[in-house]
Amino acid sequence: MRRTGSGPEIEVKLRLEDFDSIRRRLRRAGFRVTRRRTFESNLVFDTPELALRRAGQLLRLREAGRQRTLTYKGPSEPGRHKRREEIDVAVQDGPALRSLLERLGYQVVFRYEKYRTEYHRPGEEGVVTIDETPIGNFLEIEGTPEWIDRTAGELGFGPRDYITASYGRLFLEYAARQPVPPQHMVFAPEP
C-alpha cells in the first residue's frame, strides 16, 4: 500500500483506454481493491517566481476523502522509471496549513483533481492505481523498478508505454492543444 513518511518514489504512468479490460487484468493478476474510488483535490504551492518548479521540486497539499497530506517531491532522476525523493506528512487542519504556507510566501500555482482507485496484490510491496483525470485516464504502477516492469508486463504494457511526466507536465501539454487553455486540471462543474 502507499507509504507515508519519506523515501524514494519510483513509478510510471500508463495511458488507459479501457477501464473494464484493465480491471479484469488486475483481478486475473491477483490484485484487489485496497482503496475504493476516491475524489482527490490537490493544491500545488510555489513562490511567485516559481522557484520550486524551476528546481524540479513540488510542494502539494492533497485532500482525499477525510485524509489530508502535505507532500514534498524532489527533482526526478533520469531513467525509464520516474524516481524522486518524496516526503509525506499527514495533516489535521488543511485550511490552517494553507494559511501558514501563504504567510510564508507560497501561493497556489496549480490545482488538479482526480478520482483514484488503489490496488494491491497480497504479499507484495508495490501498488497500482487507476487515476481518472480531466485529461484522460491513467494507470500508475509504483514499487521497485523490477516490480514495475514485471507488473506492467503482466498487465499488457511495456517500457515503450511508460510515461514519467507529472500530471502538471501532462496538463501543460494538454492545455497547449486547446483553443482556450484551461488554467487548472479540474473537472467541469455539474450543471
Considering the domain 5-176 in this protein, what is its CATH number?
2.40.320.10
d(C-alpha 32, C-alpha 84), whole Å: 27
**98 or 7, higher pLDDT:** 98
The contacts of residue 153 (CB under 8 Å, 6+ apart) are none
pLDDT for the residue 4: 56
Burial class (CB in 10 A: 0-12, 13-18, 19+), 153: exposed
pLDDT tens-digit profile of 51-71?
Answer: 999 999 999 999 999 999 999
Owner of C-alpha cell 514485471 = 150
Domain boundaries, the chain: 5-176
% of the chain with per-residue pLDDT over 70: 96
